A and B are shown apart, each in its own frame.
Chain A
């Protein structure tokens, strides 16, 4: 849906399950889909990319992150993966853009939260599926300026 909405605004669509360091480094502005798995983990494909990411110099890159999460089933770790990825990329020099408000979500704790905002866009298809499209539209609008 995000790729569709971006249309020609996105120059390429990469498959996170097979992305390489070289492909990742080709782009200055990236939008990453990082869903939260289990009790607050990255999915395997990102997790296995982490050792590579830890050694990349991401200075100058702007990265926006979105991810699926479940605030009812996993309220203790709501959208943790977004926060984990954002902090990792930032530690390598990237600038994280696309923060969103935590309003409208009910959860107990989230590593995605910093200074009262999510470090990306959290989508809860399980419990708030009807809000997804609007949230994406609104988020992409903000990215037009922040990216």
Chain B
């Protein structure tokens, strides 16, 4: 039944025959692959994950047909095989993904089967965290709007994943910013075995958003080709002409089980399994074509035969394609960064006026915004009159660069990170800086986007990398307590795909930030907020200073003991070294600056000189990054060690609020001195 609230552009009687034939071919090819996919698994060829789309045919055809390749942006989910085919991908490309070949256009066999993508056409590679690409769709739509392009961003997902909080963050942001996004909810009534009544109170989850301003909601029959085509056409019109987001909720049926590891016989009775079969959208389309004399039975048969031949050829070609090479696993983990030419080791001999760490960050941000007009920054508390950032690091940026490049974000950390990832997808030239959260330990709600973004480059076989620098005010010594005083880098360092830097002096902060903002890829930029205004962290800074990633800096030379540290504890370590010098000990202090990548060479060279190592950081000893440093030295420099590598850091507790609690928990100069002394006399 057509939706009477939207214009009827397509109908069985009015749609040109060649259009109907094109649609039929797509639907026939799609359904044949959908039905054959399980055979690849049975024959141990591949396609070990397959989420059959049968029952979603109408809306998926319409999604693909509504997409203008290389102009629009399309984010599909794991059941969107026909959407991908309809958007222009070939049967062979679908099979290449299904059986994980090296020539799979989106992932080269690195990502799951049934995750179809073609990044060069803006059919983006999405992860399996279903629905989280809504944030990417919103981010890229922000770029579409900023650059004034007449295009839309289309996100597709099942109705169950709308339960995820990030979907609400995405739609909230898209409506607030009035962005051209079409959110499609393909509603088949189930999230694997979970019926939609267990997801939300509203059978039509799109209606949960009816209170949002600047939003159109269209319901359609996703089992009906014409209703779906009309709904998507109207959604596209609204997004383009009225310039605000649209939700299209398409009612579908899931004819088969959720996937090949699910058995729907366990939770759907025979009656239901039968009637969803009767409501097969492809069979309905075929009946309509014949009933209304658009095609004869013979013509339909010919089209079926042509589809079968097309798939046979696609299968043969795909089977011949190469498998991924295990020797390539280290390719595309992190892109090659910007290489400083003038300051190859990240040091300088500049003299003159010292600047504070906060000034270094502020001035570098401004300089880089002037250097690259496609640079953006957002975060909570980013800009309001004289305030710029929760600690005023970004003060004055909005005034100079305007509200379109420097702006506030909602209190939604995942949205902040996810839309950065999404906006990056628009153009390789874009560089984004975000304040990931007000304080580092408020970053946890964004972890799903952090993790997702961390493997974008690898997962897409090098075809996409988010060019994002995440700034976080980190650490304690301010009496902040929970969520205001903790360190998170130890937890993050185990996740490949993101660089992590943690400067402790103003010049290094400036140099690392410049390098991060000029590099491709993701950089986590930790700022020791206790040092923002601390004169000990103030230094002279060359205007064009750059610090390469993975280059530690020896802040004090010594021969008896090496203190390896970063962030706040660099200064405490220097104080302890000075104290020990008074007792005749020569202590070397190495500021890592960069945790990932790690400058192993400098560390090992120091061990060879001093033969004793104390690793010091503010984060917890238990599970902290020092454990990794210590293990590397034990493995690679054991012969030069005269004592066990020891560590100083926080206790294995949360950071307390009362100053005395904080003092007992965090490391300080006395604790470092004591541990160092023990090692020196070991």
Contact = CB atoms under 8 A, between A and B. Distances in A.
Interface of A: 37-39, 41-42, 44, 46-48, 50-52, 55, 74, 76-77, 84, 87
A111 to B, nearest CB: 10
Interface stretch (B286-294, B532-540, B546-554): B286-294
A136 to B, nearest CB: 24
Given A38-B251, A76-B202, A48 B11 contact: no
A55 B13 CA distance: 11
A84 B5 CA distance: 12
B217 interface: no
B12 interface: yes
Contacts of A48: 284, 287-288, 291
Contacts of B586: none
Contact of A50 (B1, B202, B278): B1
Contact of B279 (A44, A51, A52): A44
A85 to B, nearest CB: 9
B279 A39 contact: no
Contact of B284 (A39, A44, A55, A74): A44
8 contacts: A38-B251, A47-B1, A47-B224, A48-B287, A51-B12, A76-B202, A84-B1, A87-B4
Contacts of A51: 11-13, 288, 292
Contact of B204 (A39, A47, A55): A39
B2 interface: yes
A122 to B, nearest CB: 18
Interface residues of B, number: 23
Contacts of A42: 1
B251 A50 contact: no
A120 B224 CA distance: 26
Given A38-B251, A41-B251, A44-B278, A50 B2 contact: yes
B203 A39 contact: yes
Interface string B1-39: 110100000011100000000000000000000000000
B461 interface: no
B221 interface: yes
Contacts of B219: 39
A125 B287 CA distance: 30
A89 B1 CA distance: 13
B369 to A, nearest CB: 49
Contacts of A74: 203
Nearest to B224: A47
Contacts of B221: 41
B281 to A, nearest CB: 10
Nearest 10 pairs of A and B residues by beta carbon? A42-B1, A47-B1, A51-B12, A39-B251, A76-B203, A38-B251, A51-B13, A84-B1, A41-B221, A39-B203
Nearest to B292: A51
A48 B187 CA distance: 21
A46 B224 CA distance: 13
A48 B278 CA distance: 13
A112 to B, nearest CB: 14
Contacts of B251: 38-39, 41
Contacts of A77: 203
Contacts of B1: 41-42, 46-47, 50, 84
A44 B253 CA distance: 13
Contacts of A52: 292
Interface string B266-296: 0000000000001100001001100110000
Contacts of A87: 4
Contacts of A44: 278-279, 284
A9 B27 CA distance: 46
Contacts of A37: 279
B250 to A, nearest CB: 11
Interface in B648-677: none
Interface in B216-231: 219, 221, 224
Query: Which residue among B203, B204, B251 has the maximum number of chain A CB atoms within 10 Å of its CB?
Result: B203
A1 to B, nearest CB: 21
Contacts of B12: 51
A76 B219 CA distance: 13
Nearest to B288: A48
Nearest to B283: A44
A57 B348 CA distance: 89
A42 B221 CA distance: 10
A39 B219 CA distance: 10
A109 B291 CA distance: 34
A46 B2 CA distance: 12
Nearest to B12: A51
Contacts of B203: 39, 74, 76-77
